[in-house]
Amino acid sequence: MQLTVWTYEGPPHVGAMRVVTGMEGLHYVLHAPQGDTYADLLFTMIERRDRRPPVTYTTFSARDLGGDTAELFKTAAQNAYDRFKPQTMLVGASCTGSLIQDDPGGLARALHLPIPVVAVDLPAYQRKENWGAAETFYQLVRALAGPSAPAPGTSRPERAAGVPARCNLLGPTALGFRHRDDIVEITSLLTKLGIDVNVTAPMGASPADIARLGEADFNVVLYPEIAGQAASWLQRTFGQPFTKIVPIGVSATREFVAEVAKLAGVDASATLASACTRLPWYSRSVDSTYLTGKRVFIFGDATHAVAAARIASDELGFKVVGLGTYSREFGREIRDAAKRYDVEPLITDDYLEVEAKVAELQPELVLGTQMERHIAKRLGVPCAVISAPVHVQDFPARYAPQMGFEGANVIFDTWVHPLMMGLEEHLLAMFKDDFEFKDGAVPSHLGAGHSTPVADGPVQAPPNASNIAVVWAVDAEKELYKIPFFVRGKARRNTERFANENGVATITIETLYYAKAHYAR
């Protein structure tokens, strides 16, 4: 068992629901107990969809367990077919459904429905949401595009001269973080390059669309967590190469454009020259100088975390002090990136471990998921959201991509917003006793009502923090409070570490300044 306060991912059947709900003409029959229909709310409330997800649940209850739950499943599947007349049906079980071992795949086949039935086996006690989405998408692609695959060993026919290159956009699903606008942004970027989009999938695609995935020249993988497995299979089966660079951030987008142009055999120089992004200038303008070396902790799915680290370090001038992901399948990517910023990679789906790490590192900004907002609130650290899981406020009405050149603009605004603005930061460091602009108060541009408790001092000592208890002299403690609050935690930690390493039992003002000189950044 694992103690879980918050979970980064839902169970795998929610991943399957994200694929199905993103698509058209597909229906999912899920063997699940009464109550699991809560997942509908993710789509109707958090993403504000105007239709019920195309999911039929068997909603068995305790008294059904004494009877024939297999029959219940068959009835539900037959009724779902009769009512919704889908082009393809997906069948599977939720975590409790899998415990009663009714074999939805076999039962659905026994109904002899006149449409393809795809069974997905999602081990709910081992795997999680993104894996469930990736597996479901892969199984659908295999089942629907597989029949039109060329014989093994056949080479791809050359594209005729004058015909524009075509690609598929793979990965966007329902309930994806900014997937809706990322599609728009990347499609327009590809259009500028003269590349046509053959199929965008799963989002917006029908089973018939999936069947013609093989017609494209190559694949653009926007979200490797979801489309990586399907893209590899498409490469093996149809000889379609796929993109490896995810276009989040200015440099990554430029590299992505070059990569795509190469795959499509087009010239990217005009598109790159006319690229409209304000991030580089905003970040170079003197107003941003105070952002230099701001200590930032980054956590999210691997794709967004790696992209964020690169933007933070190379494009905004922050210092990455922590980098991690809950996507265990992508541990290697995170370890490679962590090496680049010389930090310990944190690969965990344990919220408490992430919390302890943030407390230990005392960053000035946390870039994370909805879960890191809880941590940041507790520790009084500014926070911006860069990755799923997210809640309703991160499915905005306005255009808000993360990808491409407009995505970089959105990212600049979003990440800088929670930080205290430059002038206020200076004045706070000089004058501490103002009745309105107090030490530790919420940045005034965030208004009232955002008031967060500022965790200062030893709220909770992570197990591997200072090993010996050192004592602070009263005047030294007072001096510590003259350091601006957002770097005070770091100063406290550094001074204690310095004292420990140098055998100082009582920290004086002198120790504080020795430590400051020692760790000068």
Partner 1 sequence: MNVHVQDCPVAADVAPKPVRRESGQREVFCGLTGIVWLHRKIQDAFFLVVGSRTCAHLIQSAAGVMIFAEPRFATAIMEEKDLAGLTDANDELDRIVAQLIARRPDIRLLFLVGSCPSEVIKLDLSRAALRLSQKFSPAVRILNYSGSGIETTFTQGEDACLASLVPAAPPTRTSEDQLLIVGSLADVVEDQFIRLFDALGIGRVQFLPPRKASALPAIGPNTRFLLAQPFLADTARALEDRGAVRLAAPFPLGVEGTTAWLRAAADASGVAPALFEAVTQPHRVRAERALLRYRDHLGGRRIFLFPDSQLEIPLARFLSRELSMQLVEVGTPYLHREHLAEELRLLPDDVVLSEGQDVDLQLDRCRMARPDLVVCGLGLANPLEAEGMTTKWSIELVFTPIQGYEQAADLAELFARPLVRRAKLVA
| Residue numbers at the binding site for partner 1 (CB under 8 A) | 1-7, 9-11, 13-14, 33-42, 44-46, 48-52, 56-62, 64-65, 76, 79, 83, 94-96, 99-100, 123-126, 128, 352, 370, 373-374, 377-378, 389, 391-393, 453
Cβ proximity to partner 1, 1 vs 468, nearer residue:
1
Q: Which helix (H) or strand (E) holds 320?
A: strand 319-325
Cβ proximity to partner 1, 189 vs 381, nearer residue:
381
Distance CA 386, CA 402 (A): 8
Q: Is 287 a catalytic residue?
A: yes
Are the beta carbons of 216 and 198 closer than 8 angstroms?
A: yes
Distance CA 94, CA 122 (A): 8
Cβ proximity to partner 1, 247 vs 418, nearer residue:
418
- For the chain, how big is the Rg over CA atoms in Å? 26
Cβ proximity to partner 1, 84 vs 341, nearer residue:
84
479-513 exposure pattern, b = at least 16 Cβ within 10 A, e = fewer = bbeebbbbbbbbbbbbbbbbbbeeebeebbeebbe
Least Cβ distance, residue 507 to partner 1 (angstroms): 28
Three-state SS string across 63-101, please? Answer: HHHCCCHHHHHHHHHHHHHHHHCCCEEEEEECHHHHHCC
Distance CA 135, CA 173 (A): 13
Strands 345-347 and 319-325: parallel
The DSSP letter of residue 300 is E
Going by C-alpha positions, the residue among 234, 206, 208 that lies closest to residue 220 is 234
Cβ proximity to partner 1, 51 vs 521, nearer residue:
51
Least Cβ distance, residue 42 to partner 1 (angstroms): 6
Distance CA 303, CA 374 (A): 22
Cβ proximity to partner 1, 219 vs 370, nearer residue:
370
Catalytic residue among 121, 267, 287, 413: 287
Token representation of residue 371: 């879960």
**DSSP secondary structure letters along 273-340:** HT----HHHHHHSGGGGGGTT-EEEEEESHHHHHHHHHIIIIIS--EEEEEEES-GGGHHHHHHHHHH
Cβ proximity to partner 1, 215 vs 329, nearer residue:
329
Angle, to 10 degrees, between the axis of helix 370-379 and the axis of helix 351-361?
40
Least Cβ distance, residue 51 to partner 1 (angstroms): 5
Least Cβ distance, residue 309 to partner 1 (angstroms): 24
State the catalytic residues: 287
